[in-house]
Chains A and B, each alone.
Chain A
Amino acid sequence: MNFDDTPEEAAYRTAARTFIEAHKGAFLGSDLAGFDAVRRWQAVRHAGGWGCLQWPKAYGGQGASAVQALIYSQEEEAAGISLLSVANAITIGMAAATIMQCGTQAQKERHLPRIARGEEIWCQLFSEPSAGSDLAGIRTRAVRDGDDWVVSGQKVWTSFAHYADFAILITRTDPAAPKHAGLTYFLLDMTSPGMTVKPIRQASGGSDFNEVFLEAVRIPDSNRVGEVGDGWRVALTTLMNERAAIGSIFPTNFDDAWRLAAQTPLGDRPAIEAGGVLQLLADWYVWRQGLKNFSLRLQSALSQGRMPGPEASIGKLMLGARRQLYLFELLDLLDIGGAALASGEDGDIHFSFLRVIGNRLEGGTDEILRNIIGERVLGLPPEPRVDKALPFNEVPSG
């Protein structure tokens, strides 16, 4: 057991840090409005030789290893500049990853170099009002018309659709086939006629998500990824990459708990001196350390050349549900003050407390993650699925 970088990893870390320190100045404190800063930071990374680290050089990448990519992202996080790269994860980690693995040569050549330079932002048109966890139940229809497909339907929960230039899209091309067999995957230009993007106001007050309506949108067949009817396999490629990308983005800050417990009075003493609060602090700390050490084990596996499997799902599962409880208990500690919307440092607690609702749903709900752990890690049998073999248009709905 050791936590040391190899000499090669240490040199890589130093080089990454030097690059980030030299360029971060103009980007510190940038927000996501318009995705302007996201695009510019990607361009700077690319120009400096630090963009799309794991891609082949032919498409604008660096041919780096998984552990080198991890080292770079750790250095971005330490430098307080990781937000912009994290926001670009849908483009790089999901859309581009799928094009790289399943796209045609023409699709790769057209999109990957532009993505690498920060010239294209992508969104993911997957979920629908009646197909979330049951993603293969989508109803958006694509009908062949000459060299094009004509697509109509509604997508929902689409993060950053209002900033995106392109989308990855799954559609139903054969309603008479069983539900997983009738799907086809496309790349879609978001400026196509017939597209309407409407923001959704989230429970946290923000509007990162959208509803996206497609009315007779034409997509050339050359934008199809994979065979007609093979869209589910391609979509699974995207989803695998999504969970790998999302598991690493939640903060596990413990300092708030410590600061609040020391500052907040409880009776005639600081709350931290009360037995019950002390016991809570210990539980939070153990949980936080557990997650931190768990991610170190994943990092270690990468460093040894092993790719983490479905067991990595527990990172996101534990973060979402436990962090929600943790944030509630922090507000509880503030007593009646926890009900008032604070500003400053405590304002982040309120925002996180509301945002964490989404954390437990996006990128696989807690329940779906438990299914993944149960079936793919522990080897438990799946639930019987009454819809699996039926033609999709005969599946009961409501």
Chain B
Amino acid sequence: MRFDFTEDQESLRGEARRFLASHCGRETVRAVLDSDEPYSRELWAEMGRLGWTGVALPEAFGGSGAGYLELCVLAEEMGRVLAPTPFSSSIYLAAELILREGDDAQTTDWLPRLAAGTAIGTLALAEGPGAADWGLARTRATPLGGGHYALTGVKQPVPDGLAADVAIVSARLSGELGLFLVDLHQPEVTRHPEPGLDESRPLGRLSFSGARCARLGSAGRAALDAALDRAAVLFAFEQIGGAEAALSMAVGHARQRFAFGRAIGSFQAIKHKLADMYAELELARSNAYFAAWALASGDAVLGEAAACARLSASRAYFDCAKECVQVHGGMGFTWEADPHLHYRRATLLNAVIGGQARWREVLVSRLQQKDASAREGTP
């Protein structure tokens, strides 16, 4: 068995890490955080040139067809440096959904541009603050004939809603939930910034007043859930990368910061906290590896594996981020020091495809289904 990445995948990681070390330092993250820029255009363009955006997309659409494990490796490295780009919205979510659910026109229209990074996609599900059930969208799609629809409603918050060229929008079509592909460059779409917890990854509000769109295949709730499962695995790697960076920042500080005549990392109050962060992170990494295997191999266990990876990673990143702040003491509460960047990003990533309470429900309902079908199988 080999429950680990291959040498080739590790060498991709090495390249990615070197590239990000020189192209995505803290000043790159802070340039987006402290400005109205929706993302780092320079970094995004480089990622497209390096072929990262197309790494898991088929060659027919301009990707390299390398696979999901390579995408997991890149996700982890981007998470580690808090990369301020719309990668997750555009690739984990929009490109994946179009690839799986889109018709020929939709895939040939959008995938080559998404694979090259010359267009940006996003997924717009939520409709206002507070918990949302994706299935209860109030946005409506009205048939215009000829396979076209008019979209009316407001989606907020939408990750990368300001950066995106195209959005996949959940809407009701005569009572049923559907997914619709909307070109955002039309007068019937207006966008506004939506203040967010992590301004290095800005959110937007998208208002549709009869925006022209097409249905994404026959996609409904099941297709959306499957897409969220696949994205959950990739987000988990991004979260693990961030968690490891936060832990490493905390360890570095604990080794060089002295108090009471000693490095504070020599005190068990700090050392044990860091050990617990490491243990939490390694469990999350283990769950993410299993989910990565399920994703890459297309195994039916993906549903529960993705939920486990998502829950573990969300928890580990927040734990590592909040304790990283704590270990830094008063400096950790300043804008200038970096720990709050992870605190913010951990919370954003925890939220984007649904919080932990939602994923716990998803996990248990899948286990119940498995349990029920196992019992039906035994006479």
Contacts and interface: CB of A to CB of B under 8 A. Distances in A.
Interface stretch (A32-40, A352-360, A370-378): A370-378
Interface in A268-290: 272, 278-279, 281-283, 285-287, 289-290
A317 B275 CA distance: 10
B274 A380 contact: yes
B251 A5 contact: no
Interface string B310-336: 011000000000000000000000000
A276 to B, nearest CB: 11
A370 B212 CA distance: 58
Interface string B161-194: 0000000000000000000000000000000000
A332 interface: no
Nearest to A280: B360
A367 B273 CA distance: 11
A303 interface: yes
A299 B3 contact: yes
A290 B289 CA distance: 10
Contacts of B284: 290
A299 B3 CA distance: 8
Contact of B286 (A297, A317, A367, A374): A297
Contact of B287 (A2, A283, A290): A290
A289 B287 contact: yes
A382 interface: yes
Contacts of B311: 282-283, 286
Interface string B359-370: 111011001100
Given A1-B292, A2-B1, A290 B283 contact: yes
Nearest to B371: A258
Interface string B340-379: 0000000000000000010111011001100100000000
A384 B262 CA distance: 9
B268 A371 contact: yes
A105 B75 CA distance: 54
A176 to B, nearest CB: 29
Given A3-B293, A278-B361, A286 B287 contact: yes
Contacts of B367: 258, 281, 285
B74 to A, nearest CB: 16
Contact of A286 (B265, B275, B308): B308
A380 B265 contact: yes
For A286, A370, A378, A382, the residue with the greatest tally of chain B CB atoms inside 10 Å of its CB is A286
Helix, strand, loop or mixed for chain A's interface? helix
Contacts of A3: 1, 3, 293
Q: What size tier do the contact residues of chain B reach?
A: 35 or more
B267 interface: yes
Contacts of A382: 266
Contacts of A383: 266-268
B3 A367 contact: no
A345 interface: no
Contacts, number: 155
Interface in B291-321: 292-293, 296-297, 305, 307-308, 311-312
B1 A381 contact: no
Contacts of B275: 317, 369-371, 373-374, 377-378
Interface string B1-28: 1111100000000000000000000000
B272 interface: yes
Nearest to A258: B371
A318 interface: yes
A379 B255 CA distance: 8
B78 interface: no
Contacts of B287: 286, 289-290, 293
A156 to B, nearest CB: 24
Nearest to A378: B251
B283 A291 contact: yes
Contacts of A283: 311, 360
A4 interface: yes
A294 interface: yes
B137 interface: no
A303 B254 contact: no
A286 B285 CA distance: 12
Contacts of A384: 262, 266
A304 interface: yes
Contact of B268 (A5, A293, A367): A367
B37 interface: no
Interface string A101-129: 00000000000000000000000000000
A375 B262 CA distance: 15
Interface in A1-27: 1-5, 9
Contacts of A281: 364, 367
B276 interface: yes
A286 B311 CA distance: 7
A318 B296 contact: no
A318 B279 CA distance: 7
In the A-B complex, the 7 residue pairs with the closest CB atoms: A290-B283, A282-B360, A293-B286, A300-B3, A374-B271, A380-B265, A373-B275
27 contacts: A1-B4, A1-B5, A1-B69, A1-B293, A2-B2, A3-B3, A272-B368, A282-B363, A282-B364, A285-B363, A286-B363, A293-B286, A299-B1, A300-B2, A314-B278, A314-B282, A367-B268, A370-B275, A370-B276, A373-B279, A374-B271, A378-B251, A378-B275, A381-B255, A381-B263, A381-B265, A383-B266
